[in-house]
Amino acid sequence: AYRAVADHARTLTFALADGAVPDNEGRGYVLRRILRRATRYGQQILKCEPGFFAKLVPVVVETFGEAYPELIQNQANIIEIVKEEEQSFSTMLDRGIKYFDEEIKQTTNTQSNEKIVVTGDKAFYLYDTLGFPIDLTELMAEEAGMTVDTKGFQEEMETQKQRSREARLASKGLTGQRLELIAEQTAWLADEGIEVTDDSFKYVWDESRLHS
């Protein structure tokens, strides 16, 4: 755990010095995952106080700053970014760890020889309600000798997306059954000689209206 935290601190400090920032996608999401893993290792396993990770940045700068002066130049900005990310994740981390320990580990039968599975609905609750990343749930489950029902998690995710789509339609007054034509129905229309709707006119500008 000590080596993992040290490696993560070095990686994150160099990346932020190069101008990268934590984000929800792409390279930024990789950095956010690195920081969150290090924070989780430190607080849960090493029993560090919240905010410990930002204090490691000056150590990295002191160690490598002579060879990489950009670390010294950007030290204040790096510390500020790490502090902000660490603070926003600490509360989320506490809630996630508490739920994992109380609702998953303690309520699961550990006497069986079969590998224990964290159900998809519980993994999704951690993600959707508590804001706990699925990759951390998988990591904690692995450390506890468990696995995560990722298929069930994805099904819960799709169900939530469908509910969100329906809610958006309802807010616009577009409720009711959707009309969808499958292959057999469109083939029947073709056999009956019903022509395909020509909607090309909606892409043609009415120039007379532009000058009115």
Q: What is the per-residue pLDDT across 113-156, written as a single tens digit (0 to 9) for each?
A: 567 889 999 999 998 888 888 888 998 899 888 999 999 999 99
Beta bridge partners, 117, equal: 147
- In the predicted structure, residue 35 carries a pLDDT above the cut 70: yes
Six token digits for residue 111: 């006497």
Residue 49 to residue 72: CA distance in whole angstroms? 25
- In the predicted structure, residue 53 carries a pLDDT above the cut 90: yes
Containing 118, the helix (H) or strand (E) segment is strand 116-118
Which of 181, 161, 91, 177 shows the shortest CA–CA distance to 130?
91
- Determine the pLDDT at residue 135: 87
The pTM of the full predicted model, rounded to 2 decimals, is 0.64
Give the C-alpha distances (Å, rounded to integers) separating 116 from 72, 110, 111, 135, 156.
Answer: 47, 7, 10, 17, 19
Q: What percent of the chain has pLDDT over 90?
A: 38
Q: What is the pLDDT of residues 70-90, one digit of tens each?
A: 999 999 999 999 999 999 888
Which of 51, 52, 75 shows the shortest CA–CA distance to 63?
75
Is residue 157 within 8 Å of residue 148, measured between CB atoms? no
Q: What percent of the chain has pLDDT over 70?
A: 86
